[in-house]
Protein backbone atom coordinates (compact mmCIF):
# COMPACT_ATOMS: atom_id res chain seq x y z
CA UNK A 1 0.00 0.00 0.00
CA UNK A 2 1.37 3.39 -1.00
CA UNK A 3 -0.51 5.99 1.08
CA UNK A 4 -2.18 6.18 4.49
CA UNK A 5 -5.52 4.54 5.15
CA UNK A 6 -8.43 6.62 3.91
CA UNK A 7 -10.30 8.60 6.55
CA UNK A 8 -13.33 6.63 7.72
CA UNK A 9 -15.69 9.36 6.49
CA UNK A 10 -13.90 9.90 3.17
CA UNK A 11 -17.03 9.31 1.08
CA UNK A 12 -19.14 11.78 3.04
CA UNK A 13 -17.79 14.84 1.28
CA UNK A 14 -18.43 13.73 -2.33
CA UNK A 15 -21.84 12.41 -1.25
CA UNK A 16 -22.69 15.81 0.18
CA UNK A 17 -21.37 17.64 -2.89
CA UNK A 18 -23.40 15.44 -5.22
CA UNK A 19 -26.56 16.44 -3.35
CA UNK A 20 -25.68 20.15 -3.54
CA UNK A 21 -24.85 20.48 -7.23
CA UNK A 22 -26.95 22.58 -9.57
CA UNK A 23 -28.73 20.92 -12.48
CA UNK A 24 -25.97 21.87 -14.92
CA UNK A 25 -23.25 20.39 -12.72
CA UNK A 26 -22.20 16.75 -12.60
CA UNK A 27 -19.79 14.89 -10.36
CA UNK A 28 -17.50 12.07 -11.49
CA UNK A 29 -14.96 9.77 -9.93
CA UNK A 30 -11.60 9.37 -11.67
CA UNK A 31 -9.98 6.07 -10.67
CA UNK A 32 -6.46 4.88 -11.53
CA UNK A 33 -7.00 1.28 -12.60
CA UNK A 34 -3.27 0.46 -12.65
CA UNK A 35 -3.26 -0.22 -8.91
CA UNK A 36 -6.13 -2.73 -9.01
CA UNK A 37 -6.34 -4.01 -12.61
CA UNK A 38 -9.85 -4.95 -13.67
CA UNK A 39 -11.59 -2.97 -10.94
CA UNK A 40 -13.75 -1.29 -13.58
CA UNK A 41 -15.34 -4.67 -14.34
CA UNK A 42 -17.39 -4.29 -11.17
CA UNK A 43 -19.27 -1.43 -12.83
CA UNK A 44 -21.83 -1.61 -15.62
CA UNK A 45 -20.54 -0.59 -19.05
CA UNK A 46 -22.93 2.36 -19.33
CA UNK A 47 -21.68 3.79 -16.03
CA UNK A 48 -18.01 4.16 -16.96
CA UNK A 49 -15.57 5.46 -19.53
CA UNK A 50 -12.18 3.74 -20.00
CA UNK A 51 -9.63 6.40 -20.88
CA UNK A 52 -7.16 4.11 -22.67
CA UNK A 53 -9.84 2.96 -25.12
CA UNK A 54 -9.12 5.95 -27.32
CA UNK A 55 -5.45 4.97 -27.67
CA UNK A 56 -4.37 3.02 -30.78
CA UNK A 57 -4.22 -0.74 -30.25
CA UNK A 58 -5.72 -0.74 -26.76
CA UNK A 59 -5.64 -4.35 -25.53
CA UNK A 60 -7.85 -5.91 -22.88
CA UNK A 61 -4.85 -5.91 -20.53
CA UNK A 62 -4.33 -2.17 -21.10
CA UNK A 63 -8.04 -1.58 -20.64
CA UNK A 64 -7.93 -3.28 -17.23
CA UNK A 65 -5.03 -1.03 -16.12
CA UNK A 66 -6.52 2.14 -17.56
CA UNK A 67 -7.76 5.13 -15.60
CA UNK A 68 -11.53 5.23 -15.77
CA UNK A 69 -14.33 7.65 -15.06
CA UNK A 70 -17.68 6.86 -13.53
CA UNK A 71 -20.63 8.94 -12.41
CA UNK A 72 -20.60 9.42 -8.66
CA UNK A 73 -23.82 7.51 -8.01
CA UNK A 74 -23.32 6.69 -4.35
CA UNK A 75 -26.62 4.82 -4.12
CA UNK A 76 -25.13 2.23 -6.50
CA UNK A 77 -23.92 -0.74 -4.46
CA UNK A 78 -21.57 -1.87 -7.24
CA UNK A 79 -19.76 1.44 -7.04
CA UNK A 80 -19.52 1.64 -3.26
CA UNK A 81 -18.27 -1.96 -3.11
CA UNK A 82 -15.64 -1.25 -5.77
CA UNK A 83 -14.43 1.82 -3.90
CA UNK A 84 -13.68 -0.25 -0.80
CA UNK A 85 -10.77 -1.83 -2.70
CA UNK A 86 -9.19 1.58 -3.26
CA UNK A 87 -8.26 2.12 0.39
CA UNK A 88 -4.56 2.97 0.86
CA UNK A 89 -3.97 3.36 -2.88
CA UNK A 90 -3.35 6.76 -4.54
CA UNK A 91 -6.09 6.26 -7.07
CA UNK A 92 -9.25 8.30 -6.40
CA UNK A 93 -10.17 11.81 -7.58
CA UNK A 94 -13.51 13.61 -7.77
CA UNK A 95 -14.23 16.08 -10.58
CA UNK A 96 -17.16 18.50 -10.71
CA UNK A 97 -17.98 19.77 -14.21
CA UNK A 98 -20.73 20.62 -16.66
CA UNK A 99 -19.44 18.10 -19.22
CA UNK A 100 -21.02 14.73 -19.85
CA UNK A 101 -19.19 11.52 -19.00
CA UNK A 102 -18.21 11.07 -22.66
CA UNK A 103 -17.02 14.66 -23.00
CA UNK A 104 -14.88 14.53 -19.88
CA UNK A 105 -13.48 11.16 -20.96
CA UNK A 106 -12.42 12.65 -24.31
CA UNK A 107 -10.79 15.61 -22.56
CA UNK A 108 -8.81 13.48 -20.11
CA UNK A 109 -7.97 10.73 -22.60
CA UNK A 110 -5.98 13.29 -24.56
CA UNK A 111 -3.60 13.51 -21.57
CA UNK A 112 -3.02 9.80 -21.04
CA UNK A 113 0.06 10.00 -23.26
CA UNK A 114 2.22 13.11 -23.54
CA UNK A 115 5.40 13.91 -25.44
CA UNK A 116 8.68 15.08 -23.94
CA UNK A 117 12.03 15.15 -25.69
CA UNK A 118 10.53 13.56 -28.81
CA UNK A 119 9.43 10.57 -26.78
CA UNK A 120 5.97 9.61 -25.61
CA UNK A 121 5.21 8.37 -22.12
CA UNK A 122 2.29 7.47 -19.88
CA UNK A 123 1.21 10.65 -18.08
CA UNK A 124 0.03 9.33 -14.71
CA UNK A 125 -2.30 12.19 -13.74
CA UNK A 126 -4.74 9.68 -12.21
CA UNK A 127 -2.04 8.64 -9.68
CA UNK A 128 -2.86 11.11 -6.92
CA UNK A 129 0.75 11.16 -5.73
CA UNK A 130 1.72 12.78 -9.05
CA UNK A 131 -1.29 15.04 -9.49
CA UNK A 132 -0.21 18.09 -7.41
CA UNK A 133 3.14 18.36 -9.22
CA UNK A 134 1.44 17.89 -12.58
CA UNK A 135 -0.90 20.80 -11.91
CA UNK A 136 2.06 22.83 -10.67
CA UNK A 137 4.24 22.35 -13.76
CA UNK A 138 1.61 22.62 -16.48
CA UNK A 139 1.22 26.01 -18.09
CA UNK A 140 -2.04 27.87 -17.61
CA UNK A 141 -3.08 26.99 -21.17
CA UNK A 142 -2.32 23.30 -20.59
CA UNK A 143 -4.26 23.21 -17.33
CA UNK A 144 -7.17 24.85 -19.08
CA UNK A 145 -7.16 22.16 -21.75
CA UNK A 146 -7.04 19.43 -19.12
CA UNK A 147 -9.65 20.88 -16.76
CA UNK A 148 -11.99 22.61 -19.22
CA UNK A 149 -15.21 23.77 -17.51
CA UNK A 150 -14.58 21.73 -14.34
CA UNK A 151 -15.25 23.84 -11.26
CA UNK A 152 -13.53 21.53 -8.75
CA UNK A 153 -11.00 18.69 -8.71
CA UNK A 154 -10.33 16.92 -5.41
CA UNK A 155 -8.23 13.85 -4.66
CA UNK A 156 -7.23 11.56 -1.81
CA UNK A 157 -3.83 12.80 -0.65
CA UNK A 158 -1.01 10.83 0.95
CA UNK A 159 -2.56 11.22 4.40
CA UNK A 160 -5.81 9.57 3.27
CA UNK A 161 -7.76 12.84 3.26
CA UNK A 162 -9.17 15.05 0.56
CA UNK A 163 -7.07 17.77 -0.99
CA UNK A 164 -8.32 20.30 -3.52
CA UNK A 165 -6.57 21.57 -6.63
CA UNK A 166 -6.84 25.18 -7.73
CA UNK A 167 -8.95 25.00 -10.87
CA UNK A 168 -10.11 27.75 -13.19
CA UNK A 169 -13.20 26.66 -15.11
CA UNK A 170 -13.04 27.72 -18.76
CA UNK A 171 -14.44 26.49 -22.03
CA UNK A 172 -11.44 25.06 -23.83
CA UNK A 173 -10.72 22.82 -26.76
CA UNK A 174 -9.50 19.29 -26.09
CA UNK A 175 -5.72 18.95 -26.35
CA UNK A 176 -4.51 17.38 -29.58
CA UNK A 177 -0.87 16.53 -28.80
CA UNK A 178 0.24 17.52 -25.30
CA UNK A 179 3.95 18.29 -25.13
CA UNK A 180 6.09 18.96 -22.04
CA UNK A 181 9.26 21.02 -22.27
CA UNK A 182 12.55 19.98 -20.64
CA UNK A 183 11.92 22.01 -17.50
CA UNK A 184 8.46 20.52 -16.96
CA UNK A 185 9.71 16.99 -17.52
CA UNK A 186 12.66 17.46 -15.14
CA UNK A 187 10.39 18.78 -12.38
CA UNK A 188 8.07 15.79 -12.70
CA UNK A 189 10.98 13.34 -12.63
CA UNK A 190 12.27 15.07 -9.51
CA UNK A 191 8.81 14.83 -7.89
CA UNK A 192 8.85 11.04 -8.18
CA UNK A 193 12.30 10.55 -6.63
CA UNK A 194 11.12 10.15 -3.02
CA UNK A 195 8.72 7.37 -4.03
CA UNK A 196 11.44 5.67 -6.07
CA UNK A 197 13.85 5.86 -3.14
CA UNK A 198 11.18 4.41 -0.88
CA UNK A 199 10.85 1.41 -3.20
CA UNK A 200 14.62 0.91 -3.15
CA UNK A 201 14.62 0.85 0.65
CA UNK A 202 11.69 -1.57 0.72
CA UNK A 203 13.56 -3.83 -1.73
CA UNK A 204 16.42 -3.89 0.78
CA UNK A 205 14.06 -5.29 3.39
CA UNK A 206 13.23 -2.10 5.26
CA UNK A 207 9.66 -1.82 6.49
CA UNK A 208 7.39 1.04 5.52
CA UNK A 209 5.93 2.94 8.43
CA UNK A 210 2.28 2.53 9.32
CA UNK A 211 1.80 5.94 7.72
CA UNK A 212 3.52 6.01 4.30
CA UNK A 213 2.92 9.76 4.17
CA UNK A 214 5.53 10.14 6.92
CA UNK A 215 8.02 8.00 5.00
CA UNK A 216 7.52 10.21 1.98
CA UNK A 217 8.02 13.38 4.01
CA UNK A 218 11.23 12.05 5.54
CA UNK A 219 12.66 11.03 2.19
CA UNK A 220 11.63 14.29 0.57
CA UNK A 221 13.64 16.21 3.19
CA UNK A 222 16.57 13.80 2.87
CA UNK A 223 16.70 14.11 -0.92
CA UNK A 224 16.28 17.89 -0.95
CA UNK A 225 19.08 18.26 1.59
CA UNK A 226 21.30 15.87 -0.38
CA UNK A 227 20.66 17.82 -3.59
CA UNK A 228 21.70 21.11 -2.01
CA UNK A 229 24.83 19.49 -0.56
CA UNK A 230 25.56 17.81 -3.92
CA UNK A 231 25.82 14.42 -2.24
CA UNK A 232 27.27 11.82 -4.57
CA UNK A 233 25.09 8.94 -5.78
CA UNK A 234 27.12 6.26 -4.00
CA UNK A 235 26.33 7.91 -0.65
CA UNK A 236 22.72 8.85 -1.37
CA UNK A 237 21.05 5.54 -0.57
CA UNK A 238 22.97 5.18 2.69
CA UNK A 239 22.04 8.72 3.75
CA UNK A 240 18.38 8.24 2.93
CA UNK A 241 18.23 4.90 4.77
CA UNK A 242 19.93 6.39 7.84
CA UNK A 243 17.72 9.50 7.85
CA UNK A 244 14.58 7.39 7.40
CA UNK A 245 15.48 5.06 10.29
CA UNK A 246 16.22 8.10 12.45
CA UNK A 247 12.52 8.97 12.02
CA UNK A 248 12.67 12.64 12.98
CA UNK A 249 11.40 15.56 10.91
CA UNK A 250 13.75 18.54 11.32
CA UNK A 251 13.55 21.78 9.37
CA UNK A 252 15.83 21.98 6.35
CA UNK A 253 18.69 23.99 7.95
CA UNK A 254 18.81 21.41 10.74
CA UNK A 255 18.72 18.60 8.19
CA UNK A 256 21.73 20.14 6.46
CA UNK A 257 23.68 20.08 9.75
CA UNK A 258 22.60 16.48 10.34
CA UNK A 259 23.84 15.55 6.86
CA UNK A 260 27.22 17.13 7.54
CA UNK A 261 27.57 15.14 10.77
CA UNK A 262 26.48 11.94 9.00
CA UNK A 263 29.02 12.50 6.23
CA UNK A 264 31.85 12.78 8.77
CA UNK A 265 30.81 9.48 10.36
CA UNK A 266 30.31 7.90 6.93
CA UNK A 267 33.81 8.91 5.82
CA UNK A 268 35.28 7.52 9.07
CA UNK A 269 33.70 4.15 8.33
CA UNK A 270 35.30 4.19 4.88
Please tell me the predicted confidence (pLDDT) of residue 112.
Answer: 96
pLDDT at residue 252 is higher than 60: yes
| 218-to-130, 136, 167, 169, 209 alpha-carbon distances in Å | 17, 22, 29, 35, 11
Report the predicted TM-score, pTM, of the whole model to 2 decimal places.
Answer: 0.93
Asked if 232 and 262 touch (Cβ cutoff 8 Å), the reply is no
Q: Could you give the CA distance from residue 16 to residue 203 in angstroms, rounded to a whole number?
A: 41
pLDDT at residue 183 is higher than 90: yes
pLDDT at residue 267 is higher than 80: no
| Proportion of the chain above pLDDT 70, given as a percent | 98
Tell me which range, 143-147, 169-173, 266-270, is most confidently predicted by mean pLDDT. 143-147
pLDDT band at residue 134, thresholds of 50, 70 and 90? very high
User: What is the average per-residue pLDDT within 240-244?
Assistant: 93
Long-range contacts of range 12-19, CB-CB < 8 Å, 24 or more positions apart?
13/154, 13/162, 14/72, 14/74, 14/94, 14/154, 15/74, 17/94, 17/96, 17/152, 18/72, 18/74
- For 96-124, the pLDDT digits (tens) are 999 999 999 999 999 999 999 889 999 99
For 61-100, strand residue ranges (E) read: 67-71, 92-97
The CA-to-CA distance between both ends of the chain, in Å, stands at: 36
- For 56-103, the pLDDT digits (tens) are 889 999 999 999 999 998 889 999 999 999 999 999 999 999 999 999
Asked if 243 and 222 touch (Cβ cutoff 8 Å), the reply is yes
Asked if 17 and 96 touch (Cβ cutoff 8 Å), the reply is yes
pLDDT band at residue 25, thresholds of 50, 70 and 90? very high
In terms of residues, how long is the chain?
270
Amino acid sequence: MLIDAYAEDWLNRPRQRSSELRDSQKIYLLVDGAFIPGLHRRLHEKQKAILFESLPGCTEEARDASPFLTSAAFDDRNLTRALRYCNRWPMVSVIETTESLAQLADRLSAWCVVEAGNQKFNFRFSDTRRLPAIFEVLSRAQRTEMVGPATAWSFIDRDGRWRHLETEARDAAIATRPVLDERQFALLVNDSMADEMLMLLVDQGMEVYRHPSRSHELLTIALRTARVAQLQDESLLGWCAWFWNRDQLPDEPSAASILQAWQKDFLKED
